[in-house]
Every structure is written in C-alpha cells, then in structure tokens.
Structure 1
Amino acid sequence: MSLAPIEIETGPRPTASVILMHGLGADGNDFVPICNELDLSGIGPVRFVFPNAPVMPVTINNGYPMPAWYDIYGPIGDKGEDEAGLRRSMASIEALIAKEKTRGIPASRIVIAGFSQGCAMALLTGLRHAERLAGIVGLSGYLPLAATTAAEATPMNRDVPIFMAHGQHDGVVVMSRATASRDALKALGYAIEWHEYPMEHSVCLEEIADLGAWLRKVLG
C-alpha cells in the first residue's frame, strides 16, 4: 500500500473492526465521513481501518497513475481481469486482517467492506479468508475472478453474512454486472442482503442507514 491506513476508533479498546477499501482514484479519506453517519453505539467501540491503495498506471485511463487496487484493462468484464494485481492487493488486505487479530480483534468481529474496486477486493478477500468473519460488505461493485470463487472460497465463510448495495443508475459498474455477481453468489449458497437505490456510482444516506442496521445485526 502507498500510505499507512487511516484509523478511527469510536471509543477506547475497540471490540470490533471494519476494514473499508475505497474505489479507483480515491484514497483512505474517501469514506472517513461514514464513521459519523453510522450509529454503532449499541455494539461497543469499533475501529475503522481505511487502507490506501497503491498508485499504479491504469490502462482504462490511458495509463495515468492513480490509486488502484488492481489494473482495469477496459470496460469491466470485456477484456479480462488483472488477476496478479487482485491477488497482490488481497495479500495486503489479509495483512490488515492479521494486524487486527494481533490487536485482540478475532476474525468473528471483523467486517471487510469496500466501494467499487474496494467492493471487488472485499468479496475476493472475504470469501477466501481462512477464518469466519463477521461479515462482508460490497457497495457499487462486483465479484472479481468469479470463475475461481467456488474452488477457492473457504468453508469457514460459506455462511458469512454479505451486504450488497448498488445504484440503479450506476454508469460505472452497471446494474446488470452487480446483479450477475449477486446471483452467482446466491447460486453458490451465500445469503445476500441486497439493496438498490435510485442513485449513480455513489453512496446515499438511505444506504448508510441500511448498512448501519446490518452492522448492528452482525456485530451485535
């Protein structure tokens, strides 16, 4: 990662952690304001971890360097996936999970979350993690390396709660791509809590409220 993660604790001695990955071209500051909108007071102190993706040339943006978890060669799904980049970033996120464990947060109290490219990383990492997580959150994104999911997903997270949300007018990750990911996960037996909103490639207050309710449920 290009920079150390941003960390915010809602109180002393956190008992749960939420690791939230930003989208393409953003950084760890992008979702810091969400901490002030989520009402998690009923579940005890929470540590939010906002990693920063490495800066790399991104093919779809004419090779311009920007924060990215992996390269995008063309319109999503049209020109293959950057498997090497995806797996490198997955290893970095696994290191963050390991760090939380060393600080006393068990896997069962860790939520992996992300927006857009960060959503892809949350699904990729969370489904393959060796211990049962508290949950996985995918916002405005899709399931990467879908063809390998069944073979690589760990039995420990077969019943992990998954929150997925998407904008009905998203022109970056189109709705059909998101629903195909949702349906692929459902076909593998995962329980998905699905939400959609009349928005573009963004986040809305209703979505944050729904996410807060879900987090209170899986971490309560």
Structure 2
Amino acid sequence: MAKAGPAMAALPRSVVAPAGRHTASLIFLHGSGDTGQGARAWIKQLLNQDMAFQHIKVIYPTAPARPYTPMNGALSTVWFDRYKISNDCPEHTETIESMCHGLTDLINDEIKSGITKNRILVGGFSMGGGMAMHLAYRFHRDVAGVFALSSFLNKESAVYQALNRNEGDLPELFQCHGTADELIPYSWGEETNKMLKSLGVPASLHTFPNLDHELSRTEIEKLKTWIVEKLPIEVAKSNE
C-alpha cells in the first residue's frame, strides 16, 4: 500500500458527476503539459458530450507544474519527470514515487466518500497512462482496472520489478495505441503489453491503424464500454 506521503497540496480536479446514485469512480490522468480540464474538454469534443455515466463519478485531476527535463527544465504540468522521452533509459523514480503518494490521497478521498477500492478505475492518456500503471500495479492492486491510451513503460520499469515479486490477482489492463504514433511508437506500447502479460497482468491491446499520438472517438467509445463492464451499475439492495 502506498502511504499518504509527504504533504502535497490537493490536486486540482475537474469532475463529471454521475446522473444517478454514485457507486463507482474513474480517475483519468491527462498527458504531459495538459490539465484535467483540458483532457475533459478533449474527450467532450470527440464525443460531442462529456464522458458521463449513470453511477460513475469521472475525476480529471491536474498534475502540479514541475521542471520537465525533455523541455530543458521548463515548468510543465507533468505527473513525473523523465530523463528523456525514451523507453530505454532509467525512470525518474523520485518524482514517480512522490506523485504515487499524491494520487493515493485522491483515491483515499473517494474511499472516504463510501466508494470501495474495487469500484475505482485508474487510467489516462500518454504519460497519464504510464502514471496509472505505476499507481495500480505497484501500490493499488485492488482497483477495478487500469487503462493506458498511447502509453508505455521503460524497459527496466519499477512496475516490472514490483510484479516480479507479485503473488495474487492483478487488475485488468485495457491498452490502446495508434500505429502512426510518432511521439510514443506503437512498438513501445506493444512491448509494454507483452511484458505485463508475461508478469501475470490480464491485458488487452487495442490497435488503431493510422492514429497518431491522439485520442479518437472510436477509442473512447470502446473505453466507455470496458469501463461499464468493469464498474457495472449496482442494484440497490432491498431492506426486506
């Protein structure tokens, strides 16, 4: 379990409330340089409406601004730093660990509101999907599932090291990647998927021909279907 670590200011968040009774939560982590509000607006533009559900609260947090090495140290809203955008270099473990603590606080907020961990999904786009894999497979293996859109893990990722020591069930991974992605090559996503499968993660990889480093309506519709499969509506129990 990730401890609620050193005090970190609560992450700003944009929230789409459920239309009915709140019985599950979804945490969507944006890509590097974006915001929660920006990710929400992007999906809304693709769907012509918010990604919304009868019973699921959708939370789009915003990463703190920090110096980002691939941008020559300029401030950017990123979940963690990278030495470079490559799958063949060390991970910036200190910033990843720090953000796992901050996002654990967000998960704990949902638990305090009455949502059990197995009714919480975590995922995101690009860096957000990578962050979600660290969060779930290292610290919160009892979440309902994980999704990663146009994302990857480094070849020597701490996620792989943690799963090497794993005994027990792991949350399912729903992964999507475009074959025309020029920032995060499809092969990086494919390699991540194969490695996680070899370590016991029940993982699917949905391929989108000609899709660059972006989201598509078809992809989000497919994701929505999977979300409802993992977080079905709970029938209210009778008092009789």
State TM-score, norm by structure 2: 0.83
1:117 counterpart = 2:160: no
Aligned match of 1:133:
143
Is the 1:7–1:48 contact (alpha carbons within 8 Å) kept by the matching residues of 2? yes
Counterpart of 2:178, as a letter, is G
Give the secondary structure class of the aligned counterpart of 2:212. Answer: coil
Q: Could you tell me how far apart the structure 1 residues matched to 2:206 and 2:36 are?
A: 24
Structure 1 unaligned spans of 5+:
none
1:152 CA drift (Å): 2.3
1:72 counterpart = 2:82: yes
1:12 CA drift (Å): 4.5
Give the secondary structure class of the aligned counterpart of 2:33. Answer: coil
Give the secondary structure class of the aligned counterpart of 1:176. Answer: helix
Is the 1:39–1:212 contact (alpha carbons within 8 Å) kept by the matching residues of 2? no
Give the secondary structure class of the aligned counterpart of 1:32. Answer: helix
Is the 2:31–2:78 contact (alpha carbons within 8 Å) kept by the matching residues of 1? yes
Measured against aligned partners, the alpha-carbon deviations of 1:138-165 in whole angstroms (never above 9, x if no partner) come to: 0111125744334424545x33121000
Q: Summarize the Cα distance change of 1:50–1:162 in structure 2 as closer, same or farther, 3 Å threshold.
A: same
Aligned match of 2:236:
none
Counterpart of 1:7, as a letter, is V
Question: What RMSD, in angstroms, separates the aligned Cα atoms of the two structures?
Answer: 2.0
Q: Summarize the Cα distance change of 1:175–1:136 in structure 2 as closer, same or farther, 3 Å threshold.
A: same
Q: How does 1:133-212 map to 2 (within 5 A)?
A: 133-144=143-154, 146-153=156-163, 155=167, 158-197=169-208, 198-212=210-224
Aligned match of 2:6:
none
Q: Could you tell me how far apart the structure 1 residues matched to 2:90 and 2:170 are?
A: 29
Counterpart of 2:150, as a letter, is S
Task: Tell me which protein shows more helix as a share of its residues.
Answer: 1
Counterpart of 2:33, as a letter, is G
1:45 CA drift (Å): 1.7
1:122 CA drift (Å): 0.5
1:188 CA drift (Å): 0.7
**Number of corresponding residues:** 216
1:10 CA drift (Å): 2.2
Q: How does 1:28-39 map to 2 (within 5 A)?
A: 28-33=36-41, 34=43, 36=49, 38=51
Aligned match of 1:26:
34
Structure 2 unaligned spans of 5+:
1-8, 233-240
1:15 CA drift (Å): 0.7
Counterpart of 2:37, as a letter, is N
Q: Could you tell me how far apart the structure 2 residues matched to 1:207 and 1:117 are?
A: 17
1:130 CA drift (Å): 4.2
Taking only the aligned residue pairs, the percentage that are identical comes to: 27
Give the secondary structure class of the aligned counterpart of 2:22. Answer: coil
1:217 counterpart = 2:225: no
Larger radius of gyration: 2
Give the secondary structure class of the aligned counterpart of 2:75. Answer: strand
Counterpart of 2:212, as a letter, is E
